[in-house]
């Protein structure tokens, strides 16, 4: 929703009086206490297909915790503002 602007979550954590915490995804995955789904690269890129700006992020996750990742499509691609992606791509 906010792209790469983390200001909303940082503000929420700052005003939560200790009830909320920000947890880095890679740290959570490497600790074995979390999983991440690799899907929908078309939802957050700044660049068009083949989403060159998202590829390094995906590679970082795969390198850091390959056994804590699952892949899936976002079919039927609800709430999509762009053209329908080809899941094969």
Catalytic residues: 74
**Residue (of 81, 10, 78) closest to 39 by Cα position:** 78
Handedness of CA 9, 13, 15, 16 (dihedral sign): positive
CA atoms 67, 73, 78, 80: torsion sign: positive
């Amino acid at each position: 929703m906010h792209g790469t602007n983390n200001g909303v979550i940082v503000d929420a954590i700052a005003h939560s009086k200790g009830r909320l915490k920000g947890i880095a995804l890679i740290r959570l995955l490497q600790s074995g206490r979390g999983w991440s789904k690799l899907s929908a690269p078309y939802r957050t890129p700044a660049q068009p297909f083949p989403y060159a700006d998202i590829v390094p992020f995906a590679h970082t996750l795969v390198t850091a915790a390959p056994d804590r990742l699952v892949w899936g499509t976002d079919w039927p691609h609800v709430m999509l503002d762009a053209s329908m992606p080809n899941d094969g791509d």
